[in-house]
Structure 1
Amino acid sequence: MLRMRGAVAVSFLFLGCYFVVCAEFPVAVTASLIADVRAHLYSGCVYILHSYFGYDKELAAVWSAAAGLLNIGVLHVQHLIYEGYDSCPSPLYVVLNRDLLILSEVSAAGKFSGARWLVFLHSVSELSLLDVPFDCEFLAAQWDGEVARLNDVYRISPRVSLQVRYFGDWSLSSRRNWPSVGLYRRRTSLDGHVIRTVILEDETYVSLDRMDNEVVLGGYIGHIWSELETEMNFKSNFCKSIDGGTGSEKNGTWDGMVGMLVRDEAEVGASSFLMTVKRMEVVDYTYSIDEAGTNVYIKRPKEYSLSWNVPMAPFSFWLWFCVMVAMGLLSLILPLACNIQRHHGNRNERAFGFRDSWLCTLGIFCQQGHNETPRSCAGRVVYLTSHMCAIVLLAGYAGNYISYLSAGRPLVMPFTSLSEMLDDGSYRLGVIAKSAQLNFFDKATDSLFKEVYEKLILPDIHNLPSDYVDAFKRVCESKYAFMSSANVMRRFTANLSCSVIALPRATIPGVIAMTTAKKFPYLGLINHK
């Protein structure tokens, strides 16, 4: 195996890889075309795939010519199929025409999906029996002695004939004029292909309706899926969840819609799936659709905590301190101002002592009347200042006090977190059967979640609610806590016989999305749309 110039030639064929296959072109043409394709696809490195062992003169000539233009290495196809490489992002693979059987080996191993190829051929018909997935960028080049014609080749499905689309021309004497748009800007239609779609009606994101004898999805995700059908030009063959669940794992076996995807009973789950690490091991997700943090809901308590210091609550300690200081200063300033007026000849002014001044100021701040009013201008200014301060404080205090009593009264919560719920011991915790929330606990590694499962969920494991109506009915009628997203809870609030409240310290963040089977060829187009 030849060495890569400046780097070791190791990588693997996964999503985002680039492949090139070369026919009997002149060596210089082959090397230049490889360099241009690599630059156009922004590939990090290039490998020549082969199926021979030992030294190969023709292979060495191509590598030597290309090595003068770019970093390039050589890789045996068996290493690619059985071992895989990940040392270089987005590698570009080159296969010579004499090694076209390599394509059949790679196809049989399922390594085409998500990759990009460039094939140098005498005729595209040589690929007529090859299954090139929709998400594989496969460029076939034909050489006429002066110009290489590049065609984009793929199949919408294995049962559909090979699609051949003109990509562009290339020659040594002219600049390349290839499309600058990406793969999913060129491949936009599935030409009426039927996708097997499993759904679960949850009255929030998905509902199933009939219109003109056709099944139509409603709800938020339902509308998204309907738009995708129009934009991508495909049809859906709908089926419902086989057991009414989204999917949870038990003893290595998946149930619900996830299990149907794993068993190839469906290709897409057009419902709300909470993203979890376990599920990502067996299915793929579309881009996230909505945030769906999971909360624990209980029946709203009717008791409120009202302590003896409630009348002091509207103002902070430092604000009360400032009020007392202001009253003290005004009580000092009033007799001082009146006595100065008397000293300067205003004998009509009443003589205020500190005790009388304090009682007068206290009466003003308590909104009480008084029978003596200063006759001097200075004394009346102090009076007016006291009244203005009292009015402003009264308005602020009254508003804050009413708000505190109506909205700020703290509820007497039986517990605020899962750990406190365990200590309380009088509640059961419920989740929807065969849901991701169940796997939060039965597959947990965290000691708290394990204990919650064993003590609060497992004793009632065979009687978990099958839907949200049943779940919230239990919350209202007994000491029952239920895990749900806020979006779902809001959907059922209007029809509940009680008010519910979320535990403030028992929230698990999360997002929801649709799911597809692993290596689903149209996932990239769905995400692009």
Structure 2
Amino acid sequence: MHKVSENPGLKGGPWLLLGAKDSLLNSLFLPLNTQVLVLKGNRTAARLSEVYRVESRGTLYRHEVAHWNRTSGLRWTRQLMYERRGQLHGLTVRVAVRNVTSLTELEECPTRGVTLAGGFFGHVWLTLQRSINIRSEYIISPKSRDRNAISRMVAQNEADVAFGDVTQTAISEQNQEVRYTLPVLTFRYEVYIRHLDWQELPWDLFLKPFSTRLWLTVVLTMLVSAVFLTLVQSLGHRYGYKECLTENKYSLYESLFLVISAICQQGMEETPQALSCRVAFIVIYFMALILLASYSAILISFLTIQRLSLPFTDLQGLIEDGSYQMGVLRNSTEHRFFMNTSDEMMQQLYEKFMLPDPKNFPETDEIAFERVCSMKFAFMIPFEYLSMIQSNISCSVVALPVKYFELNLSFVLPQNSFLLELLNYNLQVFRHSGLLQKMRELTWSPGESDESRTWVHVRLKHMISLLSVFGVGIILALVLLGLEKLYCSKWKIIKEKLANIVVLTLQHRDNGIKSVIFRWKYSQNSKTNKNTIKSQNNKRNFKEAHHQWLQ
């Protein structure tokens, strides 16, 4: 019987001992995960009890499983096996842990040494510790980039339990001397890329609230309104009594500017006198009010709602894009997945976008996200791991919508550990009661982060499109001003030349008339006075007389 009890195969099924004496039971090693039933009784009553030990030479514990007598018959207990054996009576368990943010957070106490302070696995283990009544002796895993270092501590009998960022796949592949519990935490891998600033407004953002057809309709409406206003004012000026008393100054050019000012919510210099013109203005202002309110509401929604514009949405899109590189953590579960996958797309991704550059397999997650922030690099990691290092990431990152294979984290135990079934039972209870889900939500809250709730400052680069329109308008106005000045100066010179020509023309015309009159008078005088002609017969005397006459 001693040889059977020392055989690990004892837990393969229930064992029944008939009338076993206490001296025999006290000398046997009956682990917690074995079912040894002892039947004692006589012809009138019988009692079936289970016996087990928490430690190899510790106290022998008994629990009644069933009893029989002639009056009441056979009655079985309704408690499950690990409900009856749920207390380990202060057993000391060596626990190997690794300090990982959000998973296992440790702190040093001057009196008690290293203690478990929090983290998801920390909360689960502390709850288990209270539930099954054990004491923990924590062993800190040496600082290593290898996530599976603590599993080797269990395999080398340096610890009874280990937990942290250790995956089931990695354990089962690397070490057959350890076992793991049911999954305590399940992650899904996501691909993260650098998130471009959503506030870098596109050039056509201020045109997007209205469609092209609607913008054309607005322009056409402005032209029709200007024509309508000019027509009403002209007809009112011609046939209306009140408008006849005022100046007709609403030309088509002026009316167009009045309509534009109405759309911009600007007033008028003067109020029309005729009722028809006032009705026209009321219709134009009402239309402008509706347009401005609609445009403002849609533009605010465009600026408020953050729409992610991703270059691709999955790994197939990454391959088709071709400008990004892809990476995973070196010697990790996902690294081995890509190395051994039979999926053609994953093989293509590994061979063309990962394998050519050794830097695509960084040693730590922090180094990986330095590459994400500095170049077109996509990195595969669960969100929960990302949240552990998010404060060290220098840029904003975003996950692709498609998620990929799962990652399970569990407690690691030695191959023949008697704690395995007990921990599995309690983990099932925690899961069915919602306790694991609550601990997960407390660790990784689905609500908004503090950063997303802070005010976002609008910088100059965010409004470059709007300021560019303003700058182009100023430059265009200055160019037109220069053209107007050049036109005015040249037109002034032309007008002066034209004026001089007109003056000279008029002077020449007057001089011609005076010459004709002089010649006529001179000829008349010459007929009456021939001696005068003879005395002034030379050409010089004639020119002088002609000049004096013109003067």
TM-score by length of structure 2 reads: 0.57
Q: Residue 98 of structure 2 corresponds to which residue in structure 1?
A: 200
Q: Residue 229 of structure 1 corresponds to which residue in structure 2?
A: 129
Q: Residue 315 of structure 2 corresponds to which residue in structure 1?
A: 418
C-alpha separation in 2, matches of 1:317 and 1:175? 89
C-alpha separation in 2, matches of 1:309 and 1:133? 75
Mapping of residues 244-259 of structure 1, within 5 Å: 244=144, 256-259=149-152
How far apart are 1:422 and its partner, in Å?
4.8
- Is residue 435 from structure 1 mapped to residue 336 from structure 2 by the alignment? no
Mapping of residues 379-398 of structure 1, within 5 Å: 382=283, 385-386=286-287, 388-398=289-299
Distance 1:474 1:322, change over 3 A: closer
Q: Is the 8 A contact 1:274 1:512 kept in 2?
A: yes
Q: Residue 269 of structure 1 corresponds to which residue in structure 2?
A: 162
C-alpha separation in 1, matches of 2:378 and 2:141? 26
Structure 2 counterpart SS, 1:203: coil
How far apart are 1:245 and its partner, in Å?
5.2
User: Unaligned 5+ residue runs, structure 1?
Assistant: 1-100, 248-254
CA distances 1:134-154 after superposition (whole Å, capped 9, x unpaired): 244544332222122122322
Which deviates further from its counterpart, 307-316 or 272-281? Answer: 272-281
- Is residue 485 from structure 1 mapped to residue 378 from structure 2 by the alignment? no
C-alpha separation in 2, matches of 1:387 and 1:424? 45
- Is residue 217 from structure 1 mapped to residue 116 from structure 2 by the alignment? yes
Q: Structure 1: which amino acid aligns with 2:188? A: G
Q: Is the 8 A contact 1:430 1:464 kept in 2?
A: yes
Q: Is the 8 A contact 2:206 2:299 kept in 1?
A: no
Q: Structure 1: which amino acid aligns with 2:130? A: T
- Is residue 375 from structure 1 mapped to residue 275 from structure 2 by the alignment? yes
Q: Is the 8 A contact 1:286 1:526 kept in 2?
A: no
Q: Residue 537 of structure 2 corresponds to which residue in structure 1?
A: none
Structure 2 counterpart SS, 1:400: helix
C-alpha separation in 1, matches of 2:141 and 2:193? 29
C-alpha separation in 1, matches of 2:25 and 2:48? 14
Q: Is the 8 A contact 1:270 1:514 kept in 2?
A: yes
Q: Structure 2: which amino acid aligns with 1:522? A: L
Q: Structure 2: which amino acid aligns with 1:399? A: I
Q: Residue 40 of structure 1 corresponds to which residue in structure 2?
A: none
Structure 2 counterpart SS, 1:145: coil
Distance 1:480 1:238, change over 3 A: farther
C-alpha separation in 2, matches of 1:394 and 1:119? 85
Q: Residue 348 of structure 2 corresponds to which residue in structure 1?
A: 451
Mapping of residues 74-473 of structure 1, within 5 Å: 108=7, 110=9, 112=11, 117=14, 119=16, 121-123=18-20, 125=22, 127-128=25-26, 131-174=29-72, 178-211=76-109, 212-220=111-119, 221-241=121-141, 244=144, 256-261=149-154, 266-274=159-167, 276=169, 279=172, 283-289=179-185, 292-301=187-196, 309-315=204-210, 320=214, 364-365=262-263, 367=265, 369=267, 375=275, 382=283, 385-386=286-287, 388-403=289-304, 407-408=306-307, 410=309, 413=311, 417-422=314-319, 429-458=326-355, 464-473=361-370
Distance 1:401 1:422, change over 3 A: closer
Structure 2 counterpart SS, 1:441: helix
C-alpha separation in 2, matches of 1:235 and 1:521? 18
More helix by share: 2
Which deviates further from its counterpart, 364-373 or 140-149? Answer: 364-373
Q: Structure 2: which amino acid aligns with 1:386? A: M
CA distances 1:502-528 after superposition (whole Å, capped 9, x unpaired): 341563353553323356243235414
Mapping of residues 47-66 of structure 1, within 5 Å: none
C-alpha separation in 1, matches of 2:358 and 2:142? 20
Distance 1:474 1:231, change over 3 A: same
Structure 1 counterpart SS, 2:410: strand
Q: Is the 8 A contact 1:106 1:112 kept in 2?
A: no
Matched residue count:
406
Structure 1 counterpart SS, 2:345: helix
Distance 1:259 1:347, change over 3 A: farther
C-alpha separation in 1, matches of 2:196 and 2:203? 21
Task: State percent identity of aligned pairs.
Answer: 23
Structure 2 counterpart SS, 1:453: helix
Larger Rg computed on CA atoms: 2
Distance 1:304 1:392, change over 3 A: closer
TM-score by length of structure 1 reads: 0.59
Q: Structure 1: which amino acid aligns with 2:91? A: H
Q: Is the 8 A contact 1:118 1:139 kept in 2?
A: yes
Distance 1:349 1:202, change over 3 A: farther
How far apart are 1:156 and its partner, in Å?
1.8
More strand by share: 1
Q: Is the 8 A contact 2:154 2:160 kept in 1?
A: yes
C-alpha separation in 2, matches of 1:466 and 1:348? 88
Distance 1:470 1:383, change over 3 A: closer
Q: Is the 8 A contact 1:112 1:132 kept in 2?
A: no
